[in-house]
Structure 1
Amino acid sequence: MSAIRPRAAWMTGLLASAAMAGLLTAAPAHAVAGEPVADGEYAFTAQLDIDNGMRSCSATLVQQEWLITAASCFAEDPAKSFKAAPGAPKWKTTATIGRTDLTREDSGTVVDVVELVPREDRDLVMARLAKPVTGVEPVSGIATTPPGKGETLWAAGHGRTKDEWVPDRLHAAPFTVDAVDATTLRLESPDASVCQGDTGGPAVQRLSTFRVLYGVHSSSGQAGCFGTDESEKRRTASETRVDDIAGWIKAVAARTVLPRVNWKDAVQVVPGHFVAHNAGERSDLFVVWADGSASLFEGSGQEDPKLPFWKEHKLAAAGSYWKDAEAVTPIGVGSSDTDGVAVRWRSGKLSTFEAVNEFGFAREKTLAYRDSWKNARSIAAGSHTDEYRRDDLVVLWADGSTSMYPGTSDNGISKEIQLTRADKSREGAQITSGRFTGQKADDLVVRLKNGRTDLFPGFGARGFRDGVALRPEGSAWKYAQPLVAGSFGSGGKPDLLARWNNGNLSYYADVDASGARTEVQLVG
């Protein structure tokens, strides 16, 4: 199978000739790889200009700061080897992303590639951008299982068409999976081809609005591509598999996702299982920023304890209604397998969102709306009773008293159980729920503003009895703003995440009744 070699530099001269200009200004032709796509479709597909026209390839935006493409695009001689050197690319490389029509400069982003991270065992490389891309959604996800023979994948790219050497528009077409090998997929089509310039582009499965990446264009028979002899070519394509190395892709992308934001501006930090395909793995992280914008950091599922998140989803812009959220906690609501959130708003309203995921928020339900809720200093949701088999809500009030609302997610605020009366020692404290000790009921962690932090095992059945001191009064934990429970390590057990007042971010693994021993520094 012949390689899809990137376009040669001599095309620059040809494009200036009258003959080629006439061809390029003719009526648009259907691409061999399929129909020209609608504006905004497959916007995660990038065009790569390598060494000012020496080569042209395609790529896929998998995270705001990372592309994935074919390593052969950067190889010295792609016909002999796909190997690419790690580090800064040898040739200046510019990526145009989110521009379905390359002639429209009012859309998309143009940014340089500054680092290559090749995969040694296949024609694949991760390419880091000089700055994160905004306004363009990365591909929805990375496949974790191979496609079956006969399944349909859609191939997209900025390469040649049947009668255009350098088309202005992205094109795509369906292909059928013919075979799956150790590191490659073989695709075939009766009437479409992957052509030169498509190298490195995506092969995705279309699931409703989701686009899941299964492969990256590596080589092709190129039947029907401009400048080829139809009779001597085949309509097959070899794709580099990504499903068996999804963890590696996420680990590379995870290196940059947390350090690039200012964590001093994180006013609400809320761990939970929000993204459906991450359910049961590491926590995702919902964050409300000081300017009222909101983000969701998707869990990576990595073994490396320092790489808990790999992608940031922008959920709300600056000035959104999230600027009025004064206490937020994850909570199980409705019939979803993922978490929602309970929110105490500045107005005194308490509500839940059943769905909080990479697409935003849905199904808000008002639980209470009265002035007294303005005094709810901190809230925590967990399985503290078995009365309703739903999350209960524990509330720490401004005067240091505490209450519990059993089965909140199903029954609203209808039954309050007062646990303790006003206590000045708990004024300004913060609470979070997690199953640290493995008891039937979730445990409650209470951090006082003086740094003392206690764990109350099986809270609900036992209340504030038999507390275990995690940190004494005067400890550095007084600077944790906030301290929240989630699953960030590879063991699947609850950890405690701290956003420190100096902007650092870390979590404590192996938290149980004997203490919190191991700190993992994420930022700082």
Structure 2
Amino acid sequence: MTSLRPRAAWMTGLLASAVAASLLTSTPAHAVAGDETADGAYAFTAKLDIEGRRYCSAALVEQEWLISAASCFTDDLTKDRYVPEGAPRLKTTATIGRTDITGKGGSVVDVVELVPHKDRDLVMARLARPVTDVKPVRFSPDRLMAGETVRVTGYGRTKDEWVPDRMHDAEFKIDSLGNGTMNLTPTSPGAAVCAGDTGGPAFKDVGGFYELVGIHNTSGQGGCFGSDKSETRRTATETRVDDIKGWVQATTARTVLSRHDWKNAVHSVSGDFTRDYRRGTAPRKDLFVVWADGSASIFQGSDPTNDSRPFSAEYLVAPKGSYWKNAEAITGTRVTDDISSGTHTDGLTVRWNTGKLSTFTHVDEHGFFEEKTLAYSNSWKNARLITAGRHTANDLRDDLVVLWADGSTSMYSDTGANGVAKETQLTRANPAWTQAAQLTSGGFGGKTDALVIRWNNGSADLFPGVDTDGFHSKVNLRPEGSAWKYAQVLTAGTFNGDWSGGDLLVRWADGNLSYYADVDASGARKEIQLVG
């Protein structure tokens, strides 16, 4: 393909320049890239209007971030594709979640910042506000292989329209994979990637969920409106994104936590809720948060490249006013027998204000699945604090520790398989234990998990190796009257991406957010401020 035209000129051909309205055809569109996309499908695909001079496509990869082609923002492709980091030179508007640009719904948001990749024709584009009504596309966690099929979408030219209003899509096959690129061939006659599709996504359909693998770069454009009639090539070259997830995460992580008022975080628990778990690695835990308005979010853990940015994306999994406003206590729970596959996710155990105790055995960025009622009685209204961890020899499922209103504590072993039938009382009723303000469980050194308790007087204690035999020792993390009296929510988890020990996330009364890395029996020393 490149032997017919210089690469720079070919790239330029993919960019749809603005034209006067009088030049637009009134003939109904028959999209070259396939049939017109059904309403609501592939809503993460975005259209970019660059000051009316140029149109491109893009993909929503996080509530506040798009990924597209850097060449969309280049002044002169025949000279240089360099795009400076910062605000776009020309006013750029993104339309997201609207199959037909002339319709209603979705979001129309300005692009306020560009972050180009140094080696590829890629750019991350930050939006002026988060888009919460469209699910971002996920990055594929798997290695691509030649012969796989992908779907491409975009708002580029069709066979008979110069600047169409409607998204179109088609299926392509991966012919070959290169260093940062992949070559595609359409699987149906007439399909092609056309001008204006530049920056649009190529993705895999995995059980009805979509995983991004490439961004449109160059194409033969055979059959596209306005192309040379002698041009017959319909193959396309994509910029690969399956191998640059770390760069994307480092970019999106800068804005994920700061856009929230963390004083409104009522509950937070850690877990492997997204499909980023890899056997033999130490991934950052994801964070599930319930907000004061009843909405809920999952913050995805990122690659362990920067301690101060442990979360790379936010997925809204419950809207305002949802049933999560009725949750009185929540803990993350591992309830599966198989943690060896990349599809493993953790669950949640919830004590509701009705006295019901239930477990969601599967939780991910798409929502909550397989709820199982463990108990339903007025007595469970007295379960003031709950936490789950590996406190027994069973390494596959967690045990539930309960601190009751009378100051007694219990452990329910092997919760995932046996519900809450197997109870071991750890301590009898104790007025002193009614002063416990927060309770969390984690791998703070030792073979079995430890408990951390923050008391109302500001002190905090670590109880190593709690098991069915009870509490064996105590390590004081903070003395009475310490600043920890302002700690409102404690969450244990691996947030810094190493194996050296458990970390402790703290949400403070003023809305600041920080964590203590590698907490163990020697104390909580290394504090890293995330928000505030």
Residue in structure 2 matching 1:8, options 7, 11, 17: 17
Q: Distance in 2 between matches of 1:389 and 1:480?
A: 31
Partner of 1:246: 245
Worse-matched range after superposition: 268-277 or 119-128: 268-277
Amino acid corresponding to residue 155 of structure 2 in structure 1: H
Partner of 2:524: 516
Q: Distance in 2 between matches of 1:243 and 1:390?
A: 32
Partner of 1:289: 291
| 1:150 is aligned to 2:155 | no
Q: Distance in 1 between matches of 2:142 and 2:378?
A: 51
| 1:192 is aligned to 2:191 | yes
Partner of 2:108: 110
Partner of 1:426: 433
Mapped contact 1:145–1:244 kept (Cα < 8 A): no
Worse-matched range after superposition: 288-297 or 78-87: 78-87
Mapped contact 1:487–1:494 kept (Cα < 8 A): yes
Partner of 2:32: 32
Residue in structure 2 matching 1:300, options 299, 302, 324: 302
TM-score by length of 2: 0.92
| 1:350 is aligned to 2:357 | yes
Instruction: Please show how residues 77-96 of structure 1 align to structure 2 within 5 Å.
Output: 77-96=76-95
TM-score by length of 1: 0.94
Number of aligned pairs?
Answer: 511
Partner of 1:262: 261
Q: Distance in 2 between matches of 1:388 and 1:100?
A: 47
Q: Distance in 2 between matches of 1:290 and 1:251?
A: 28
Structure 1, unpaired ranges of 5+: none
Q: Distance in 2 between matches of 1:67 and 1:204?
A: 15
Partner of 1:328: 330
Mapped contact 1:159–1:197 kept (Cα < 8 A): yes
Partner of 2:124: 126
Runs of 4+, deviation exceeding 4 Å: none
Worse-matched range after superposition: 109-118 or 344-353: 344-353
Query: The residue matched to 1:307 in structure 2 has which SS?
Result: coil
Q: Distance in 2 between matches of 1:389 and 1:161?
A: 53
What is the Cα deviation at residue 134 of structure 1?
2.3
What is the Cα deviation at residue 74 of structure 1?
0.6
Partner of 2:367: 360
What is the Cα deviation at residue 387 of structure 1?
6.7
**1:185-229: CA deviations, max 9, x gaps?**
121226321111011101111112111111111111111111112
Residue in structure 1 matching 2:422, options 411, 415, 437: 415
What is the Cα deviation at residue 350 of structure 1?
1.2
Amino acid corresponding to residue 402 of structure 2 in structure 1: V
What is the Cα deviation at residue 415 of structure 1?
3.0
What is the Cα deviation at residue 464 of structure 1?
2.1
Partner of 2:6: none
| 1:163 is aligned to 2:160 | yes
Q: Distance in 1 between matches of 2:497 and 2:426?
A: 35
Q: Distance in 2 between matches of 1:158 and 1:487?
A: 41
Query: The residue matched to 1:426 in structure 2 has which SS?
Result: helix
Mapped contact 2:334–2:396 kept (Cα < 8 A): no
Query: The residue matched to 2:379 in structure 1 has which SS?
Result: helix
Q: Distance in 2 between matches of 1:305 and 1:196?
A: 41
Q: Distance in 1 between matches of 2:227 and 2:239?
A: 23
What is the Cα deviation at residue 499 of structure 1?
0.8
Amino acid corresponding to residue 184 of structure 1 in structure 2: T
Q: Distance in 2 between matches of 1:235 and 1:28?
A: 19
Q: Distance in 1 between matches of 2:394 and 2:199?
A: 55
What is the Cα deviation at residue 84 of structure 1?
0.8
Mapped contact 2:29–2:159 kept (Cα < 8 A): no
Q: Distance in 2 between matches of 1:35 and 1:389?
A: 47
Q: Distance in 2 between matches of 1:296 and 1:199?
A: 31
What is the Cα deviation at residue 61 of structure 1?
0.5
Q: Distance in 2 between matches of 1:54 and 1:479?
A: 53
What is the Cα deviation at residue 179 of structure 1?
2.1
What is the Cα deviation at residue 445 of structure 1?
1.5
**1:330-376: CA deviations, max 9, x gaps?**
11224463211111111211111111111111221222222222121
Structure 2, unpaired ranges of 5+: 3-9, 339-343
Mapped contact 1:332–1:390 kept (Cα < 8 A): yes
What is the Cα deviation at residue 426 of structure 1?
2.1
Partner of 1:457: 464
Query: The residue matched to 2:252 in structure 1 has which SS?
Result: helix
Worse-matched range after superposition: 399-408 or 144-153: 144-153
CA RMSD of aligned residues (A): 1.7
Query: The residue matched to 1:510 in structure 2 has which SS?
Result: strand
Q: 1:145 to 1:391 in 2, by over 3 A?
A: closer
Query: The residue matched to 1:268 in structure 2 has which SS?
Result: strand
Amino acid corresponding to residue 391 of structure 2 in structure 1: H
What is the Cα deviation at residue 468 of structure 1?
1.3
Residue in structure 1 matching 2:491, options 464, 484, 498: 484
Amino acid corresponding to residue 91 of structure 2 in structure 1: K
Mapped contact 1:251–1:302 kept (Cα < 8 A): no
Q: Distance in 1 between matches of 2:120 and 2:182?
A: 12
Worse-matched range after superposition: 267-276 or 91-100: 267-276
Mapped contact 1:497–1:506 kept (Cα < 8 A): yes
Q: Distance in 2 between matches of 1:421 and 1:257?
A: 43
Mapped contact 1:425–1:448 kept (Cα < 8 A): no
Amino acid corresponding to residue 159 of structure 1 in structure 2: G
**1:57-110: CA deviations, max 9, x gaps?**
001110110000000111111233221111000000011111111121x21111
Residue in structure 2 matching 1:472, options 464, 476, 479: 479
Mapped contact 1:341–1:354 kept (Cα < 8 A): yes
Query: The residue matched to 2:521 in structure 1 has which SS?
Result: coil
Partner of 2:134: 136
Amino acid corresponding to residue 427 of structure 1 in structure 2: T
Q: Distance in 2 between matches of 1:373 and 1:358?
A: 29
Query: The residue matched to 2:230 in structure 1 has which SS?
Result: helix
Q: Distance in 2 between matches of 1:153 and 1:454?
A: 53
Worse-matched range after superposition: 498-507 or 412-421: 412-421
Q: Distance in 2 between matches of 1:145 and 1:358?
A: 18
Query: The residue matched to 1:35 in structure 2 has which SS?
Result: coil
**1:452-508: CA deviations, max 9, x gaps?**
212122111552222111111112122111112111002144211111111111111
What is the Cα deviation at residue 230 of structure 1?
3.6
What is the Cα deviation at residue 413 of structure 1?
2.2
**1:126-150: CA deviations, max 9, x gaps?**
00001111211111x1134542122
Q: 1:484 to 1:48 in 2, by over 3 A?
A: same
